Amino acid sequence: METLKGTVDHIIFHNDKNGYTVADFDVDGQMVTVVGNFEELKEGEFLKLTGFWKEHQSYGEQFQIESYALDLPTSEEGVIRYLSSGLLPGIGEKTAIEIVNHFGTDTLDILDNHPDRLSEVHGIGKKTLDKIKEVYSEQKEIRDVMIQIQEYGISSTYAMKLYKTYQSDTVRVLLDNPYQIIKDVRGIGFKIADQIAAQLGFESQNPKRILSGISFCLQDCYARGNTYMTEKDLIEYSAGILGVPKEDIEFQLQELALRGDVRLEFIDDEPAYYPSALFEAEDNAALSMVRLAGAVFETQTVDIPAMIAAYEEDMSIRLDNRQAEAIETAIENGIAIITGGPGTGKTTIINGIVYIFKRLGMKTVLAAPTGRAAKRITETTGEPAKTIHRLLEYDYSGDDDFPSFNRNEENPLEVDAIILDEASMIDIVLLNSLLEAIKPGTRLILVGDADQLPSVGPGNVLQDLIESNVVKVVRLDRIYRQSEESMISINAHAINEGMMPEINNQSDFMFIRTMDPDKVLDTILDLVAWRIPEKKGFDAMKDIQVISPIKKGKLGVISLNKELQEVLNPAADYKKEKTLGTVVFREGDKVMQIKNNYKLKWEDIHGFETGEGVYNGDIGNITRIDEYNKTFEILLTDDKKVVYEFDQLDELTHAYAMTVHKSQGSEFPVVIMPMVGGPPMFLNRKLLYTAVTRAKKMLMLIGPQNYFYRMVKSGDTNERRTALKQRIKMYGELNV
């Protein structure tokens, strides 16, 4: 490791989300390019950098920082550069030279302890002096606090985060309870706080540490999709993470329950603990569902069969009895669930419900959990659809686990009916937010495939609602979307039943068998880049989607994206690039938005409209990288042009390949998926079924057939711990 000291001369690039920065540093008059993570950086700051030199392929020699700290220059030349850097108002290079000529190496001591003496220097009047004193005092406080924090071994990145939150109280808060920072400072979790606490001398059995550690372990519910943990599991898990006796965990659990931070419940006669917010979401959702299910609408004056017949005549279709029942159920009940696999006519039913509601003069809205799912329902029905976040008017709260909405109990949605597609993707928190915004008398129709993967967030909403036997459910089991040559829908249903499907490589459902991961990779690259486009006429970028069950490894999404980028969009002199960490974004790249950004502006390339909002899952291509304006332009698949700032790069990822979870709510003409080995907890029938049902015209599975067989025969071994079903039954029996 080497150490450099210098002044921040120019910030070339800074990402506010992850702190990644490229900057020019003035080190004793020599300009050095520095790269690394800085929480906050200002031109003119004097820093001590620790790191190593590396050679960048395009940009030459760079200094990669490992850590940094605020410092002060010691030479007269360094002080002059520091003062004239623009950090202090009214001091340019000429004035800085005069100050240093007057005070010499005592200049910074004068600024610290006798700032009024600056008036001795020609050109510094009272107004300028007052401004210098104000700004320098602020800089001195930051520097003093940062130096104190870093003396405890806290990294500069976290030191700046802490200072921005607590200012002059930073050290006091840390010494009193370092675990407080988990709640107060975004981006700092238990593990980081625990490291800081250890550096501050906190003992492993300190009650504050145990209380915080239990809460951290209970937050595992969010990662695993559960809404609670059994007492036994929580105690064992916490004791293992914290390295303390179980008796200490049991004692502090009672304290957390008394404080209201966790909720103790008995589920199937077994004690269990909820994070309080998840308990409230699940309990409120159950109560709301029972009340919706209890609403029965008087429809004697409505001739439903006649309206269904009119819909059939207008659309030149014929519904079967189950499809007609689904439409009737949606019209007659406060809440209805319509579930079925691919090709069973769910879109036809949605269209029928909308058709009849319109004739009844009812205001109906369509929604879906993600932007891609909302776009797809718009394309298939011809009716406008919104994301649930957009429908509820997301309020930019900054809390990803518990978003805030403008639509709620006090300001409900002014609609008569809500049709929610891809309902298997909705988690318990979002469901509760939606239910809070539904006023009495509104119908809610949930449409989805209960056999797909559940939501990424906590809960198993659609399955729990169906199994509660309180909500009206219509199951569609007859396949319509197929022809004699099509096997995708037929085989998807076979997989869902745990049966090995018929595989005929002359159909649209194909399996290429190979045991060698290198051959799997080579085959995927060959199929995407050449064989399928040349022989079948599909566009490699627009029509073909690689889906992988895993993120890491040779056949994981990260590696596949890199390999596919090289064959589909290789580097060229005429293509500009921008690097974020180890990822290279290049003009022409296929990319995907990975978080909802409701403020990001877009314009239609045809000049028809403009608007705001780019959603998690939206896909497009980088059409232009503008180094001068530090922007890049993306054309989304729905012909919307979006201009991003360089510091928004972390909202994007390459989309040549994506995980099965990310593919939910979408359909693609061609899907290619590698077969990989792994535990049934992650690689099971439900995941395979979800991947297969993403393909519309062609599906290609590549790899060992025994992996495919294991997934088909593996049930969902990762059953989620939720109690929505039990709560709905309980409130139903109480007739609330």
Residue labelled with tokens 């200094």: 63
H-helix or E-strand containing 633? strand 631-636
Which of 442, 458, 483 marks a domain boundary? 483
Residue 482 in this model has a pLDDT that exceeds 70? no
Where are the alpha helices (H) located in 272-370, listed in sequence order?
A: 276-293, 304-315, 321-332, 346-359
Q: What is the 3-state secondary structure (H, E, C) of 571-624?
A: CCCCCCEEEECCEEEECCCEEEECCCEEEEEEEECCCCCEEEEECCCCEEEEEE
Rounded to an integer, what distance in angstroms lies between the CA atom of residue 479 and that of residue 498? Answer: 18
Is residue 613 included in any domain, yes or no?
yes
Residue 301 in this model has a pLDDT that exceeds 80? no
Phi/psi at 548 (5° precision): -120, 145
Which of 101, 129, 152 marks a domain boundary? 152
The predicted pLDDT at position 300 comes to 65
435 exposed, middle or buried (CB, 10 Å; 0-12, 13-18, 19+)?
buried
Of the two residues 399 and 631, the one the predictor is more confident about is: 631
The predicted pLDDT at position 485 comes to 57
The predicted pLDDT at position 209 comes to 94
Alpha carbon of 58 to those of 274, 300, 576, 577, 584: distances in Å? Answer: 51, 74, 11, 10, 12
Query: Do residue 285 and residue 273 come from a single domain?
Result: no
The predicted pLDDT at position 315 comes to 92
CA 9 to chain centre: 35
Query: Do residue 256 and residue 298 come from a single domain?
Result: no
User: Binding-site residues, please?
Assistant: 343-347
The predicted pLDDT at position 481 comes to 58
Residue 260 in this model has a pLDDT that exceeds 60? yes
Amino acid letter, residue 466: I
Range(s) of the domain holding residue 306: 281-483
Rounded to an integer, what distance in angstroms lies between the CA atom of residue 204 and that of residue 213? Answer: 10
The predicted pLDDT at position 683 comes to 84
Average pLDDT over residues 172-193: 87
Average pLDDT over residues 565-576: 94
Of the two residues 666 and 150, the one the predictor is more confident about is: 666
Q: Which of these ranges, 66-75, 346-355, 553-562, has the smallest mean pLDDT?
A: 66-75
The predicted pLDDT at position 154 comes to 75
The predicted pLDDT at position 550 comes to 92
Query: Do residue 225 and residue 287 come from a single domain?
Result: no
3-state class (DSSP) for residue 642: strand
Which of 239, 258, 277 marks a domain boundary? 277
Residue 577 in this model has a pLDDT that exceeds 80? yes
Query: Do residue 531 and residue 581 come from a single domain?
Result: yes
Half-sphere exposure of 719 (CA within 13 A, CB side): 6
Phi/psi at 11 (5° precision): -90, 110
Phi/psi at 281 (5° precision): -65, -45
Q: Which of these ranges, 53-67, 112-126, 273-287, 521-535, has the smallest mean pLDDT?
A: 53-67
Where are the alpha helices (H) located in 24-115, listed in sequence order?
A: 76-83, 93-103, 107-113
Q: Which two tokens stand for residue 343?
A: 């090709």
Is residue 237 included in any domain, yes or no?
yes
Q: Which of these ranges, 84-93, 120-129, 256-265, 440-449, has the smallest mean pLDDT?
A: 84-93
Phi/psi at 384 (5° precision): -65, 140
Q: What is the largest CA-CA distance in the chain?
A: 97
Query: Do residue 249 and residue 295 come from a single domain?
Result: no
Name the pLDDT band for 719 (thresholds 50, 70, 90).
confident
Query: Do residue 570 and residue 642 come from a single domain?
Result: yes
Query: Do residue 300 and residue 419 come from a single domain?
Result: yes
Is residue 175 included in any domain, yes or no?
no
Query: Do residue 12 and residue 99 come from a single domain?
Result: yes
Phi/psi at 723 (5° precision): -130, 20
The predicted pLDDT at position 617 comes to 83
Residue 721 in this model has a pLDDT that exceeds 90? yes
Query: Do residue 341 and residue 230 come from a single domain?
Result: no
Sequence-distant (≥ 6) Cβ neighbours of residue 602 within 8 angstroms: 610, 611, 612, 613, 614, 636, 640, 641, 642
Is residue 728 included in any domain, yes or no?
no
Rounded to an integer, what distance in angstroms lies between the CA atom of residue 549 and that of residue 660? Answer: 6
Is residue 113 included in any domain, yes or no?
yes
Rounded to an integer, what distance in angstroms lies between the CA atom of residue 510 and that of residue 712? Answer: 15
3-state class (DSSP) for residue 387: strand
Is residue 725 included in any domain, yes or no?
no
User: What is the chain's mean pLDDT, rounded?
Assistant: 88
Residue 716 in this model has a pLDDT that exceeds 80? no
Of 68, 63, 71, 72, the closest CA to residue 32 belongs to 63
Residue 41 in this model has a pLDDT that exceeds 90? no
The predicted pLDDT at position 156 comes to 64
Name the pLDDT band for 728 (thresholds 50, 70, 90).
very high
Rounded to an integer, what distance in angstroms lies between the CA atom of residue 416 and that of residue 430? Answer: 20
H-helix or E-strand containing 374? helix 371-381
Rounded to an integer, what distance in angstroms lies between the CA atom of residue 651 and that of residue 596? Answer: 9
Q: How many CB atoms lie within 10 A of CB 407?
A: 19
Average pLDDT over residues 480-488: 66
Q: What is the CATH number of the domain that holds 381?
A: 3.40.50.300
Query: Do residue 357 and residue 344 come from a single domain?
Result: yes
The predicted pLDDT at position 618 comes to 87
The predicted pLDDT at position 196 comes to 87
User: Binding-site residues for ATP, please?
Assistant: 343-347
Name the pLDDT band for 87 (thresholds 50, 70, 90).
low
For residue range 640-657, what is the model confidence (pLDDT) as tens digits?
899 998 878 888 999 999
Residue 594 in this model has a pLDDT that exceeds 60? yes
The predicted pLDDT at position 396 comes to 63
Name the pLDDT band for 398 (thresholds 50, 70, 90).
low
Is residue 48 included in any domain, yes or no?
yes
Average pLDDT over residues 185-196: 85
Name the pLDDT band for 543 (thresholds 50, 70, 90).
very high
Residue 630 in this model has a pLDDT that exceeds 90? no
Q: Is the dihedral of CA 493, 494, 495, 498 positive or negative?
A: positive
Report the number of distinct structural domains present in the chain. 4
Residue 590 in this model has a pLDDT that exceeds 70? yes
Is residue 514 included in any domain, yes or no?
yes
Name the pLDDT band for 88 (thresholds 50, 70, 90).
confident
Average pLDDT over residues 470-497: 83
The predicted pLDDT at position 164 comes to 80
Residue labelled with tokens 């590396």: 54
This model's pTM is above 0.85:
no
3-state class (DSSP) for residue 474: strand
Residue 483 in this model has a pLDDT that exceeds 60? no
Q: What is the 3-state secondary structure (H, E, C) of 519-555?
A: HHHHHHHHHHHHHHHHHHCCCCCCCEEEEECCCCCCC
Rounded to an integer, what distance in angstroms lies between the CA atom of residue 88 and that of residue 593? Answer: 40
Amino acid letter, residue 666: S
What distance, in Å, lies between the first and last C-alpha atoms of the chain? Answer: 68
Name the pLDDT band for 582 (thresholds 50, 70, 90).
confident
Alpha carbon of 577 to those of 64, 210, 560, 645: distances in Å? Answer: 20, 47, 19, 14
Rounded to an integer, what distance in angstroms lies between the CA atom of residue 673 and that of residue 660? Answer: 9
Rounded to an integer, what distance in angstroms lies between the CA atom of residue 337 and that of residue 355? Answer: 18
Amino acid letter, residue 101: N
Query: Do residue 692 and residue 578 come from a single domain?
Result: yes
Name the pLDDT band for 20 (thresholds 50, 70, 90).
confident
For residue range 201-257, what is the model confidence (pLDDT) as tens digits?
889 999 999 999 999 999 888 888 999 999 999 999 999 999 999 999 999 999 999
Rg (CA), the chain: 30
Rounded to an integer, what distance in angstroms lies between the CA atom of residue 41 and that of residue 691? Answer: 44
Rounded to an integer, what distance in angstroms lies between the CA atom of residue 671 and that of residue 694? Answer: 7
Q: Which two tokens stand for residue 74?
A: 């010691």
Average pLDDT over residues 397-413: 79
Query: Do residue 259 and residue 310 come from a single domain?
Result: no
3-state class (DSSP) for residue 677: coil
Q: What percent of the chain has pLDDT over 90?
A: 51
The predicted pLDDT at position 736 comes to 64
Amino acid letter, residue 524: I
For residue range 45-75, what is the model confidence (pLDDT) as tens digits?
788 888 899 887 666 788 988 888 777 777 7
Residue labelled with tokens 């068998």: 513
